[in-house]
């Protein structure tokens, strides 16, 4: 595996491969890689001639300076995992390389970005659109891989692609979980032993909520039940739980309102001061 530090080198290495007809799979990451990322990389490896993984903690998508400062950075361990997965190129640039001058672009991401994470993390999705659009423009991937844990992010990236005219395939990959159900996240290392012990309850409550739908409860009733089941334990503080259309990200009033992809319940919850996200399909 080659470690690439500059945009120029990335473009020139990929250009010759693209000319010779090779397909390129791109996996954008912020490092601190775990089995969830590995599942994306393995899928990219299976489906493409060339696999590029970017490892870059993108400052423009953080709306909290201390979150950015404390975000785990583990380049050597990341590269070991990527080598073992048979990745061809790890793109590991500096902030100056990506943003030689401030990126002032404001993307009109519309309705998909105006709910849930949008209002909770102002500027976050615009920052994601900035970095992902740059990575797409430099790599011209055949396919790009994203985890469904960040369900809304995938909808936002599709919108950015529409705005910018990117036409390659997006491959959403299922959430990878610990044996006890906790969704894998780079932030899980911040959980105290006590918080880690209770965190699987999030998945448990979401799974139990499927039964409420079968019992005839409305989306709003299911949302309320999920929030009170978690907040009622005293171990959690739910920021939001929204049951939305899986494509438009808009809340649904009735189950029948969901379109062709159905509905998804998206949760953000603080557990021992750590912000965790998860989701479930209804």
By the rule CB under 6 A, 276 interacts with ligand PAF: no
Comparing CA positions, the residue from 282, 24, 281, 32 lying closest to residue 149 is 281
Nearer to ligand PAF, 63 or 228 (CB): 63
By CB under 6 A, name the one of 131, 191, 199, 266 that touches ligand PAF: 131
* HEC string for 99-113: CCCCCCCCCCCHHHH
The DSSP output letter for 168 is: S
Q: How far is the CB of 146 from ligand PAF (least distance, A)?
A: 6
Could you say whether residue 130 binds ligand PAF (CB under 6 A)? no
Q: Does the annotation mark 37 as catalytic?
A: yes
Which is it for the CA torsion 74, 76, 79, 85, positive or negative?
negative
Of 29 and 39, nearer to ligand PAF (C-beta) is 29
Q: Which of 4, 26, 29, 282 binds ligand PAF (CB under 6 A)?
A: 29
List the one residue from 58, 152, 263, 268 that touches ligand PAF (CB under 6 A). 58
d(CA 274, CA 187): 7
Local structure of residue 280 (DSSP, 8 states): E
Nearest to ligand PAF of 137, 220 (CB atom): 137
Residues 153-182, mask of contacts with ligand PAF (x by CB under 6 A): x-----------------------------
- Rounded-to-integer distance, Cα 263 and Cα 248, Å: 10
Q: Which is nearer to ligand PAF, 77 or 207 (CB)?
A: 77
Q: How many residues does the chain have?
A: 282
Give the whole-angstrom CA distance, residue 218 versus residue 253. Answer: 8
Please report how close the Cβ of residue 30 comes to ligand PAF at its closest, in angstroms: 4
C-alpha to C-alpha distance for 56 and 40, rounded to whole angstroms: 16
Residue 53 CB, nearest approach to ligand PAF (Å) = 10
Q: Is the Cβ–Cβ distance between 85 and 79 less than 8 Å?
A: no
Nearer to ligand PAF among residue 141 and residue 219 (C-beta): 141
Distances (CA, A) of 191 to 134, 176, 185, 237, 245: 32, 18, 11, 14, 31
Task: Say whether residue 195 binds ligand PAF (CB under 6 A).
Answer: no
Site string for ligand PAF, 132-151 (x = CB under 6 A): x-----------------x-
Closest separation between CB of residue 31 and ligand PAF, Å? 9
CA angle, residues 101, 92, 135, in degrees to nearest 5? 60
Closer by beta carbon to ligand PAF, 150 or else 278: 150
User: What is the 3-state composition of the chain as percent helix, strand, coil, each rounded to the nearest 5?
Assistant: 45, 20, 35
Q: Does 28 interact with ligand PAF (rule: CB under 6 A)? A: yes
The catalytic site residues sit at 37
Which chain residues interact with ligand PAF by CB under 6 A?
28-30, 58, 61, 128, 131-132, 150, 153
């Amino acid at each position: 595996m080659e470690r690439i530090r500059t945009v120029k080198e990335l473009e020139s290495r990929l250009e010759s491969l693209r000319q010779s007809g090779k397909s390129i799979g791109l996996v954008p990451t912020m490092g601190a890689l775990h089995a969830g990322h590995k599942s994306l990389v393995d899928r990219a490896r299976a489906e493409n001639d060339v696999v590029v993984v970017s490892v870059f903690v993108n400052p423009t998508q953080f709306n909290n300076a201390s979150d950015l400062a404390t975000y785990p950075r583990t380049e050597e361990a990341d590269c070991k995992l990527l080598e073992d997965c048979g990745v061809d190129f790890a793109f590991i640039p500096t902030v100056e390389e990506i943003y030689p001058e401030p990126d002032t672009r404001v993307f009109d991401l519309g309705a998909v970005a105006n709910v849930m994470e949008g209002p909770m993390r102002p500027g976050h999705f615009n920052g994601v659109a900035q970095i992902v659009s740059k990575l797409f423009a430099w790599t011209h991937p055949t396919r790009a891989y994203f985890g469904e844990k960040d369900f809304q992010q995938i909808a936002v990236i599709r919108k950015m692609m529409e705005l910018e005219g990117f036409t390659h395939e997006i491959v959403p990959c299922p959430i990878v979980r610990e044996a006890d159900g906790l969704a894998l996240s780079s932030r899980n290392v911040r959980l105290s032993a006590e918080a880690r012990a209770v965190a699987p309850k999030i998945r448990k409550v979401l799974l139990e909520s499927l039964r409420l739908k079968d019992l005839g409860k409305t989306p709003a009733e299911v949302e309320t039940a999920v929030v009170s089941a978690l907040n009622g334990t005293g171990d959690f503080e739910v920021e939001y739980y929204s049951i939305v259309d899986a494509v438009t990200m808009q809340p649904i009033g009735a189950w029948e309102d969901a379109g062709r992809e159905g509905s998804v319940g998206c949760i953000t919850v603080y557990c021992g001061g750590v912000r965790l996200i998860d989701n479930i399909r209804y």
